[in-house]
Amino acid sequence: MPELPEVETSRRGLEPHLLGRCITGIEVRQPKLRWPVSLELAEFLPGERLDALRRRGKYLIFDTRVGSFLIHLGMSGSLRVLPAGVLPEKHDHLDIAFGGVNLRLRDPRRFAAVLWAGSEPLKHSLLKSLGPEPLEPGFDAEWLIKKAKGRRLAIKPFIMDSKILVGVGNIYANEALFRAGIHPERAAGDLNKAEYGHLAQAIVEVLSKAIEAGGTSLRDFVREDGRPGYFAQELDVYGRTGLPCVRCGTLIEQRPQAQRSSYLCPRCQR
DNA sequence: AAATTCTCCTGAAGGC
DNA sequence: TGCCTTCAGGAGAATT
C-alpha cells in the first residue's frame, strides 16, 4: 500500500518525465474514485505546463500556472508514464496526456483521489491540518511528546494519525514500533522521553531506508516505470505472523487494533 | 477535544 | 473446478 516512501518514489520517478511539459488532454474513464474526479481538471489544465511536482504527506501536488491538482493513491493506486497510444487496461481510470506520453492512474480498489486544489493547494481542506513531514525539520521527539500529552489513544494509531505526523501507514507504524521496542497498545501519553526519542528516530530510519530501497512492493503497488520496489524483504514484523522475531526468535504475534492488524514481538516490545 | 466506528472497493486467499 | 466467505487497508466522515 502506498505510504510515504512509495509516494516519494513515485514522485521522483515521475518528475523527470513530466516536469516542464505541457498537458494536452485529460481522459477520465471512471470518475467514481474516493471522491468524484474534479471536473476542473479537464476545464483548466489543457495547454498548461507542469511547473512543479511536490509531495505533502501521501499527497502528490501537481502545480501549474492556473492552479494545482492533487493525487492521492489510496491503498491500491499506482501511477505510470506510458507512450501515447498504449491501450488502457482494467482499472486504468484516468489519463493525463503530456504530448507524447500519458500519466496513467490505475487503482483496482478505487480509494484514490484526483482533486482540483486551486492556487494555494497547501490550504486545501485535505492538506491544511496535516502534521509535520517526518523527514523534514519540525518533526522530532519533542513534537510527539507535546502532541501525546495526556492522550490515552494507543501509540500505534497515534503515529498513524496524519494530524500528528504524515506518511506513516500500517506497515511502517508496525516496523517503527518494533525498531523502537515499544508495544503498539501502550497509551501515547504514557511513553517517556527516551522512548519518544527512540520512536522518532525509528520512524525516520524506517521511512528513509524504504525510500532508498525504492518503496515497498506489496500487492498492488507498482513504481512509475512498472518495476516493483524491493523493501518488502527487509520488513521485520509486518506480515510475519508466526515467524521468529529477527532479534530474539520469539514468534511474531498478529492482533487487531483499531480496524488494522498490528504485528509485534511480545518479548522485544514492551 | 478525544476516541471509536463506519465507509468506500475489489483482488487474493482460504474453505468446502 | 468453482463458488462463497473473509480479509486487507488510507483516512475522512460520522458518531459517541
Q: List Cβ neighbours of A207 (8 Å cut-off, separation of 6 or more).
A: A4, A5, A134, A135, A167, A168, A172
Nucleotide nearest to A170 (CA to C1'): C9
Task: Answer yes or no: A2 catalytic.
Answer: yes
Decide if pLDDT at A191 tops 90. Answer: yes
Q: What is the pLDDT of residue A222?
A: 52
Catalytic residue, candidates A2, A121, A157, A184? A2
Task: Answer yes or no: A3 catalytic.
Answer: yes
pLDDT digits (tens, 9 = 90+) for A84-93: 999 999 899 9
Decide if pLDDT at A230 tops 60. Answer: no
Could you check: is the Cβ of residue A55 within 7 Å of any atom of nucleic acid strand C?
A: no
Decide if pLDDT at A266 tops 80. Answer: yes
Task: Answer yes or no: A11 catalytic.
Answer: no
**Pairwise CA distance, residues A68 & A84, whole Å:** 23
Nucleotide nearest to A58 (CA to C1'): C10
Could you check: is the Cβ of residue A153 within 7 Å of any atom of nucleic acid strand C?
A: no
Taking the CA of residue A157 and the C1' sugar atom of nucleotide C14, their distance in angstroms comes to 18
Q: Are A165 and A159 in contact (CB under 8 A)?
A: yes
Query: pLDDT category, A217, cuts 50, 70, 90?
Result: very low
Footprint of strand B on the protein (CB under 7 A): A 32, 34, 90-91, 108-111, 150-154, 157, 219, 258-259
**What mean pLDDT is predicted for residues A40-68?**
97
Q: What is the pLDDT of residue A220?
A: 47
Could you check: is the Cβ of residue A111 within 7 Å of any atom of nucleic acid strand C?
A: yes
Q: What is the pLDDT of residue A214?
A: 74
Q: Scan for cell 489513544, then name that residue.
A: A153
Decide if pLDDT at A219 tops 50. Answer: no
Could you check: is the Cβ of residue A3 within 7 Å of any atom of nucleic acid strand C?
A: yes
Q: What is the mean pLDDT of chain A?
A: 91
Q: What is the pLDDT of residue A215?
A: 56
pLDDT digits (tens, 9 = 90+) for A118-177: 999 999 999 999 999 999 999 999 999 999 999 999 999 999 999 999 999 999 999 999
Nucleotide nearest to A171 (CA to C1'): C9
Query: pLDDT category, A225, cuts 50, 70, 90?
Result: low
Hey, what amino acid is at A123?
K
Q: Degrees (nearest 5) of the Cα angle A204, A255, A248?
A: 60
Shortest CA distance to A172 belongs to which of A221, A244, A239? A239
- Residue A219: how many other CB atoms lie within 10 Å: 11
